[in-house]
Structure 1
Amino acid sequence: MSNKYIGLSFIGLSLFISACTTNIFSSHSDMVNLNNIHKHVKTLASDEFAGRGPLTIGEELTINYLAEEYKKLGLAGGVNGEFFQPVPMAKLTPDPAMVLKIGNLEFTAGKDFTARTEQINEKIALVESDIVFVGYGINAPEYQWNDYQDIDVTGKTVVILVNDPGFATQNDSLFTGNAMTYYGRWTYKYEEAARQGAKAVLIIHETAPAAYPWSVVESSNTGSKYTLIDEFNNSSKLPIMGWLHYDATEKLMSAAGLNYEALKEQALMIDFKAIPLNLTANLELNSTIELAESNNVVALLEGTTRADEYIIVSAHWDHFGTKQTPTGPKIYNGAIDNATGTAGTIEIARILKEQHKIKPFERSILFVNFTAEETGLIGSELFARGDIIPTKQMVALLNIDGMNALDGVDYILQYGKNMSEMEDYLSKAAAKQQRKVKLDPRPQNGLFFRSDHFSFAKQGVPSLLFMSLGDTDPDYIAHKYHKEEDDYSSDWSLGGVEQDISLIVDIVSELATNNDWPKWKESSDFKKRRLQDRQ
């Protein structure tokens, strides 16, 4: 065979391989308009939107943009005909100049520690508050584990390790081994410490068990934070919620005459007993408090014969807004997290609306963009209470929190394992795209507990999380996640976005036309809650 024909054969083979690759990575690609995604993300992540901080001009621009886009698609407002669900909340801004004093040590806010509150209280003080090391700060009867046994921490400051003992030991028989349980989440540690009567918590930061560097703690826990308000002004919440840098921790333990690494080993013992440090903490936490309303954005595609049964597609619209620093304002545009997910909900709504025109869905579909996810899943917590739609009428929820803006891949990530039958829907839809389901490669990060779908899981609604934060871009977590560098790029191919939008559309389309009510697989609080709800 001549070189000419060899060359032509090679070209033909290359074109065939290229076509096959396109088929694998772009199932239903004709449905997804990537120009729309580029436009939405570029707008939502622009400096004009000022980082999409709740209760700022960024919120006003964002929610109005979303409502207008849904209106253009012909969707109705999902809150009694309106697009906005008011979320009453407080904006609390702690004094960045506060100093934590322990004995002869002085720690600087931001650099050495963070502290904030969710109580509606402008002044909270630690005055000679006894400090106690309580290991992992876990009280879990099902694991025969109680770090608070035989210790009274009422009014005291507790110092707590991040994550749970399973991660530290990698022992599958201890908690769930490498995979984080809810007991490893900082939210749980604050909740349990409050139940125990503690005045303050300092969670010790280490990058591996926390799953993110100190810079993420600093950006996420300084500046303005938000909270829902109960009738008692959140008086049952932990007064002071804090983090402590690793270096500061070593100084603290040294001042107490203890070795931090040895303490960590002791904390892994099932018979561990909390250790008073014989030191006291002093801190004045002064916060500026603003009471206001933020908004969830809710759009409705109404079903026909079973309009009172709902599938929910969601993504949070907020990020960290603009922070004033000594070197000037920093805008946290949150392009990947979560302008991509927000843009994804709009595009999914467009596609499903077009399908609905051809063959109407029997069930209703809600598109919800939540506020204040970054400060504790606040918007989703309110929605999941069922005031707008009772949870017993929610068939399932598919939540997007950061999409793969780069090229398509031959897998889809699954968060959680053997949780619910929604995993079966995920596997089936992925197979249609010739993609495999890949279990979360970092279960120790506890991502199943860290996005808006978890608010619904706690209420018994089977949920899926779609997240790509660093899986295809190893640089993302280290240098962009929750930082001002998370910016839009016109160079993004959006191959991964195209794949996942198509997959989500597939799942939602099926659920909107069948009679299935996906169930929880394993016995859990989620399953118990669902059974109670559906009785």
Structure 2
Amino acid sequence: MRFNMIGAAALFASLAACTPAQQSARTAGASAPQIPLATLQRVTEELASDAFEGRAPGTPGEEKTVELLSREFARVGLQPGNNGSWTQDVPLVEISARGAPKLEVRGPNGARTYDFRTDFVAGSYRAQPRIDLRDSEMVFVGYGINAPERGWNDYEGLDVRGKTVLILVNDPDWQSQTLDGPFGGRAMTYYGRWTYKYEEAARQGAAAALIIHQTEPASYGWNVVENSWTGPQLFMDDGRGGADQTLVNGWVTQDAARRILADAGQDLAALTARAQRQGFRPVPLGLTASTGFDNDIRRQASRNVIGILPGRTRPDEYILYTAHWDHLGICAEGTDNPICNGAIDNATGTAALVALAEAFAKGPRPDRSIVFLAVTAEESGLLGSAYYAANPVFPLHRTVGGINMDSLNMAGNTRDFVLIGAGKSELEDVLQPALARRNLVLTPEPSPEAGYFYRSDHFSFAKQGVPMLYGRGGEDLVVGGLEAGRAWAADYRANRYHGPRDEFDPNWDWSGAVRDLEIYHEVGLQLANSSAWPNWREGDEFRAIRDRSLAAAGR
């Protein structure tokens, strides 16, 4: 891993400019902050309780969440962050497909029908009352990637306007055991994310886009897709009703995909192997797809919650902490446990905002301002953070950098720390000393193919050039080692992630979570008391955006 020593030197030189007494006090505060565990536990438990109904935007759970965060931010000593208000309105449209639509695939030998939830899930980004996809020609488009800079175009040579495209999840080289390859090898790029695949299908003019679910390259099971893609779906209200989007977006199970392709005389494994080689061309299947459903449409404003601790000497420069407060709400109606409480994801991260705010407010006032931003609708596609990044309350060219907290480590203390997207920004030069002081090893992501860098709210800010850190304690547990850590992570992904069993557990071991918050506090305090403006590494995809932003601000 390489580090930009110029950026690090600038940071530590600025810290050295403090008086010895100031530097001593700040270093002590940075290395041993008092993270209020009682606050962290209490707020997590309350947010994850059934009373909050899974914290879905636009529900009574949102009202309770916003009220709780506003009250807690005020209690610990923050000021309202949006011109005297604790909140920022985020315009959303909620689209709910009624009933259980069928997917009919017709070929030379007749039609086969696929069942909702069991075989496929689908909805529409278009805010219109009726969706009808009728006899749309089906095309297999490999990984659905159009990347001219990499010499790759899965749509080349075929006009897919009005057609239904069948797409593989992840990148072509996700099975690599290294990080070398046309798409980052084992590490997922944005081209591997489902969000990109729908965006590109829409740009190509497709009528429908269906992603083939496979657990390993998706990094989650079909249960996650089923819970996330059924019920009300939220989208940014762009004033156009999603007219530039595909008519239908959805997923099919691997078994359903095999049957669809077999009816076309094709084999999923053979087509996948072809799609992983440069020069792949889309494959018309000789099949047509049909489905339809009615939509209930509701426009609403959800809310981001914003608190600020004004800086002592440079209050117009900002350090940002983010976490998403929302979850999936009522996700399993008709069962004994219908609420997706989202205790780890992300009541823990939201509570961490309050705990960190309390720690900062009780310490010496930093030179720069600290902003605590709880965003909405992350589970619907990072909508709250995307809206803030496009409509910032505090200018992004005056935002030094930030830390995103999405699901704290509740497995216990670890010997290692995992940074998602390691090697991307100079913020790592501030993180490294904090890890070294705790004898922590920075380890590679255990599942780089999952593309976590593109799956949480830091990505919305990165796209606008703001350097962001996103990490957590690793899997090498102090008690139990790697075997225990990996087993805990696997159990969470398989049995609790995005499901009703992600509930508050009074027996959690909070030591790892508190240790991680100490690190986040130290990094934020170092940045807040420095004059450095960290950037992305040379050659990183976000570097040019940050360069332009800093140049426009005269830096």
In 2, Cα distance between the equivalents of 1:170 and 1:387? 40
Q: For the residues of structure 1 that align with 2:494 and 2:431, how far apart are their CA atoms?
A: 29
What's the Cα RMSD here?
Answer: 1.6
- Note the C-alpha offset of 1:405: 1.9
Corresponding position of 1:443:
448
Farther-moved stretch of structure 1 (218-227 vs 376-385): 218-227
Secondary structure of the corresponding residue to residue 122 of structure 2: strand
Call closer, same or farther: CA 1:239–1:423 in 2, change over 3 Å.
farther
| Pair 1:40 & 2:43 matched | yes
SS where residue 346 of structure 1 aligns?
Answer: helix
Residue 120 and residue 181 in structure 1: after superposition, are their counterparts in 2 closer, same or farther (change >3 A)? same
Return the alpha-carbon distance in structure 1 between the equivalents of residues 149 and 538 of structure 2.
15
* Conserved 8 A contact 2:417-2:472: no
SS in 2 for 1:318: coil
CA spacing shift, 1:205–1:469, aligned 2, 3 Å: farther
Q: Structure 1 residue aligned with 2:265, among 244, 252, 257?
A: 257
Question: Partner of 2:169 in structure 1?
Answer: 162
| 1:436-489 C-alpha deviation (Å, 9 max, x unpaired) | 211211111100000000000000000011346985623100100000000101
Determine which of 266, 280, 286 is the counterpart of 1:278: 286
Q: Quote the Cα distance in structure 2 between the aligned partners of 1:299 and 1:497.
A: 22
Tell me the percent identity.
Answer: 41
**Are the counterparts in 2 of residues 136 and 165 from structure 1 also a CA contact under 8 Å?**
yes
Distance in 1 (CA, whole Å) between partners of 2:72 and 2:328 is: 23
**Structure 2 partner of 1:152:** 159
The separation in 1 between residues aligned to 2:55 and 2:300, in whole angstroms, is: 16
Residue 502 in 1 paired to residue 491 in 2? no
How far did 1:422 drift? 1.1
Amino acid at match of 1:265: A
- Structure 1: any 5+ residue segments left out of the alignment? 1-26
Is residue 138 of structure 1 aligned with residue 138 of structure 2? no
Structure 1 position 78 matched with structure 2 position 81:
yes
Indicate yes or no: 2:539 matched with 1:531. no
* Alpha-carbon contact 2:332-2:500 (below 8 Å) kept: no
Choose the corresponding residue for 2:494, options 478, 483, 503.
478
Q: 2:412–2:510: 8 Å Cα contact kept in structure 1? A: yes
1:326 deviates by: 3.6
TM-aligned CA deviation for residue 512 of structure 1: 0.6
Equivalent position amino acid for 2:502 in 1: D
The equivalent residue for 1:402 is: 407
User: Which residue number corresponds to residue 95 of structure 1?
Assistant: 98
> How many matched pairs?
506
Instruction: Choose the corresponding residue for 1:114, options 121, 124, 146.
Output: 121
Asked if the contact 2:198–2:209 (Cα under 8 Å) also holds between the matched residues in 1, the reply is yes
| TM score, norm. by length of structure 2 | 0.89
TM-score (norm 1): 0.92
CA distance in 2, matches of 1:265, 1:46: 46
CA contact (8 A) 1:182 1:449 kept: yes
Find the aligned partners of 1:526 and 1:71 in 2 and give their Cα distance.
35
Q: Which amino acid aligns with 1:57?
A: P
Secondary structure in 1 matching 2:361:
helix
Distance 2:462 2:369 in 1: 20
Q: Is the 8 A contact 1:154 1:197 kept in 2?
A: yes
Q: Distance in 2 between matches of 1:266 and 1:217?
A: 26
- Does structure 2 retain, via aligned residues, the 8 Å contact 1:29–1:498? no
The 3 A distance-change label for structure 1 pair 527 and 30 is closer
Residue matched to 1:22: none
| Residue 428 (structure 2) aligns with | 423
Is residue 333 from structure 1 mapped to residue 338 from structure 2 by the alignment? Answer: no
Any residues of structure 2 matched to 1:1-40 within 5 Å, and which? 31-40=34-43
Does the residue aligned with 2:331 lie in a helix, a strand or coil?
strand
The 5-angstrom pairing of residues 66-465 of structure 1 reads 66-103=69-106, 104-170=111-177, 172-323=180-331, 325-327=333-335, 330-355=338-363, 359-465=364-470
Query: C-alpha distance in 2, partners of 1:365/1:386?
Result: 18
2:175 match: secondary structure: helix
Looking at structure 1, the residues matched to 459 and 472 of structure 2 have their Cα atoms a distance apart, in angstroms, of 13
Residue ranges of structure 2 left out of the alignment (5+ in a row): 1-29, 476-484
Deviation at 1:323, TM superposition (A): 3.1
Alpha-carbon contact 1:418-1:522 (below 8 Å) kept: no
In 1, distance between residues paired with 2:273 and 2:232?
Answer: 36
Q: 2:99, 2:293 within 8 Å by CA — same for their partners in 1?
A: no
SS state at 2:338 partner: strand
Which whole-Å CA distance do the structure 1 matches of 2:181 and 2:448 have between them?
16
After superposition, give the CA deviation of every residue in 1:25-84 in whole Å (9 maximum; x if it has no partner). Answer: xx9666122222211111000001111111001000011000000001121110111101
CA contact (8 A) 2:227 2:331 kept: no
**Offset from partner CA, 1:388-443 (integer Å, 9 cap, x none):** 12211111010000001232111111111320011222212111222121121111
Q: Does 1:54 align with 2:57?
A: yes
C-alpha contact (below 8 Å) 2:337/2:500 kept by paired residues: no
TM superposition shift of 1:169: 4.6
Supply the distance in 2 between the matched residues of 1:235 and 1:54 (Cα, whole angstroms).
23
Q: Is the 8 A contact 2:403 2:468 kept in 1?
A: yes
CA distance in 2, matches of 1:51, 1:469: 27
The verdict on how the C-alpha distance between 1:30 and 1:415 changes in structure 2, with shifts beyond 3 A counting, is: closer
2:302 aligns to what SS in structure 1? strand
- Letter aligned with residue 438 of structure 2: Q
